[in-house]
Structure 1
Amino acid sequence: MRGEGFLLCVFFYLLLFSLFVLITDYLSHNDTAEVTDSTIWEAFKAVMRGNIIAYEAKLNKDKKKKLTEITGL
């Protein structure tokens, strides 16, 4: 049986991969000659912040659902 360290490595790998995909997708759509680097950076920070908030909301929702299933409430 694999330990918690292995699962943590898999989690971080998936997290890094999803961030890589998000960044690559963002830059492929927004890094154009008409847009300044500072605008790209400010918008990128907003996009990342929104994705992090959405991810945290999903984690909290899943945690509450699991807790409800366990307690039967």
Structure 2
Amino acid sequence: MKKQYLIILWIWLLILAFAYGCGDDPMVKPDPEEPDTEEPGTEDPGTEEPSPLKDWFSWDPVTPDA
């Protein structure tokens, strides 16, 4: 009987240790985000491929439906 309690206690300790290990550690500060060094408009214009479905669904909200 005592052995059953020890096994159940051991299983609970494993579950609690796993749950504690998966939690966020409040002592560790998150890394600051790196600022973007590229300015808008400075990227190479030839690197972006045109999307084949760019004008597949063009809907103008000003134009009334037919």
What range describes the TM-score normalised by the shorter chain of this pair? Answer: 0.3 to 0.5
**Structure number with higher relative contact order (C-alpha < 8 Å, ≥ 6 residues apart):** 1
Task: Give the number of the structure whose residues are more often helix, by fraction.
Answer: 1
Larger CA Rg, structure 1 vs 2: 2
TM-score (norm 2): 0.39
